[in-house]
């Protein structure tokens, strides 16, 4: 089964750009039956969807509340996909999860363990 692992800096200053990478093992990011997604969870709060990207990078869908600051990409050579969130503020402090998304049904079936990103001056 798929295994996913997030990586990236854990501490950012306001106005900086958040960049996270998700490394996939146990399967290829080029699988046409999957999208790849990001979800975040502020401390003590619920899940918030950030966006998804199709395996070929040709199709993306972002949360409208974050759309102006979000970008996602797929790196098939390294079996990874990435998230970029610009102009971060304290409100972006959260645990960020990457996950595989079944193309049929659009449910998140495999998740990374999550990585805490703190935005603080």
Q: Any idea of the CA torsion for 76, 42, 115, 54, to the nearest 10 degrees?
A: -10
Residue 13 Cβ, how far from another protein at the closest point, in Å? 26
Alpha helices in the chain (DSSP H): none
In the bound state with another protein, the residue whose beta carbon lies nearer, of 76 and 118, is 118
In the bound state with another protein, the residue whose beta carbon lies nearer, of 12 and 39, is 39
Q: What value, to the nearest 5°, has the Cα angle with vertex 81 and ends 77 and 84?
A: 130
d(CA 72, CA 69): 10
Residue 82 Cβ, how far from another protein at the closest point, in Å? 18
Residue 105 Cβ, how far from another protein at the closest point, in Å? 6
Residues that bind another protein (CB under 8 A): 37, 39, 46-49, 51-52, 61-64, 97, 101-102, 105-109, 111-114
């Amino acid at each position: 089964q798929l295994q996913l692992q997030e990586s990236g800096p854990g501490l950012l200053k306001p106005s900086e750009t958040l960049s996270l990478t998700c490394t996939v093992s146990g399967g290829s990011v080029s699988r046409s039956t999957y999208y790849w997604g990001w979800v975040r969870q502020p401390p003590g709060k619920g899940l918030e969807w950030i966006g998804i990207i199709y395996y070929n990078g040709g199709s993306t869908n972002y949360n409208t509340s974050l759309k102006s600051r979000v970008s996602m990409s797929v790196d098939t050579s390294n079996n990874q996909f990435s998230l970029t969130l610009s102009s971060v503020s304290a409100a972006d402090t959260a645990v960020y999860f990457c996950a595989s998304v079944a193309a049929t049904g659009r449910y998140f079936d495999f998740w990374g363990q999550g990585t805490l990103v703190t935005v603080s001056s």
